[in-house]
Amino acid sequence: MSLVSASTSSAEQSNSRLAESAKPILRAFVLLLAGALLWEGYKAMGQATGGTWPLTNVSLPVRTNSRSMPHVWDVIGALFRPARRGGEDLLLIILLRAALFTWRSAMLGFILGSAVGFGIGVLFTRSRLAERGLMPYVAASQTIPVIAIAPILVIWGGKLGLPNWVPVMVVSSYLAFFPVAINTLRGLRSPAPTAAELMRSYAASPTQELWKLRVPASLPYVFPALKVGASAAVIGAIVGELPAGMGQGLGRAILNFASSFSSAPEKLFASVVISALLGLVFVGLVSVFERLTVPSTSRHARKEPLGART
């Protein structure tokens, strides 16, 4: 009987769905506000006590002067001023252009990395031998720092005569593939043994078993990993741009503003904010795709992703 009472009119449903999709935006806004308040609160406290915790002599971990911690409004203000004295473009425009440029490599890297990660998951599900032989390499790949990999790939890419965005994309995919591979493998193995027996009783081919049973069952595991992969791909692209000598991306912008940190710290903080926003938008896009693909019932059963790289 509860089934009857649970079905509401479609108008009501679309209304509540609208409210449902507005909720995360509101939540993000509140969190941003809280973050800004904490920042300014800490700063005000430090200014009042002269750099120590209240009523103690213990000094604060980060100095609170405007050189170390510019005011939130100064950071926002910097976004809406020209980046250089006498320059035409606002810092915001320059950073957004750089973010868009970086996002292109990150997007391609994310797609490549996810495809490779998914492929590795499928291969390892089909072959225990492949898993045993290759898993150590997959795991080891993540212990090598990106700053070591990136120049190697750039040099190789240059030797092969590839355009310089190719190695950047590969660095980005290098960070994205791992969480996708690990969680795809886990998701593909998630169906109960009886579900596999059921497919066998229908004389389903291995390919049918993969696409009708294992892949749909893996999606609640794969999507959280794709979100981890999306943000990792952004980091990979930013780091990869540096040895590739690409001047238009966020990597160069961050490096430039870091070198002038002591004179204009708010510009570095502004580029950090834009980088973070880029990651958030990317992860948000994956979430939208998830909502369209996975029915909410199986999304509820999703697990935390393994192999999230920090």
Partner 1 sequence: MSLDSSAAISLRDVSVTFAGGAGGNVEALQGIGLDIQPGEFISLIGPSGCGKSTLLRVVADLLQPTAGAVSLTGKTPQEARQDRDYGMVFQAATLLDWRKVLANIELPLEIMGLDNVERQAKANAMLELVQLSGFSDHYPWQLSGGMQQRVAIARALVFEPSILLMDEPFGALDEMTREHMQMEVLNIWRSTGTTVLFVTHSIPEAVFLSTRVVVMSARPGRITDVIDIDLEHPRRFETREDNRFFQLLTEVREALRRVESES
Q: Which residues bind partner 1 (CB under 8 A)?
A: 3, 192, 194-195, 197-204, 208, 212-213, 216-217, 219, 294-295, 297-298, 301
For partner 1, the closer of residues 115 and 204 by Cβ is 204
For partner 1, the closer of residues 190 and 256 by Cβ is 190
Q: What is the 3-state secondary structure (H, E, C) of the chain?
A: CHHHHHCCCHHHHHHHHHHHHHHHHHHHHHHHHHHHHHHHHHHHHHHHHCCECCCCCCECCCCCCCCCCCCHHHHHHHHCCECCCCCCCEHHHHHHHHHHHHHHHHHHHHHHHHHHHHHHHHHHHHCHHHHHHHHHHHHHHCCCCHHHHHHHHHHHHHHCCCCCHHHHHHHHHHHHHHHHHHHHHHHHCCCCHHHHHHHHHCCCCHHHHHHHHHHHHHHHHHHHHHHHHHHHHHHHHHHHHHHHCCCCCHHHHHHHHHHCCCCCHHHHHHHHHHHHHHHHHHHHHHHHHHHHHCCHHHHCCCCCCCCCCC
Min. distance of Cβ 296 from partner 1 in angstroms?
9
Min. distance of Cβ 28 from partner 1 in angstroms?
29
For partner 1, the closer of residues 208 and 260 by Cβ is 208
For partner 1, the closer of residues 17 and 63 by Cβ is 17
Min. distance of Cβ 176 from partner 1 in angstroms?
25
Min. distance of Cβ 307 from partner 1 in angstroms?
24
For partner 1, the closer of residues 58 and 192 by Cβ is 192
Min. distance of Cβ 206 from partner 1 in angstroms?
12
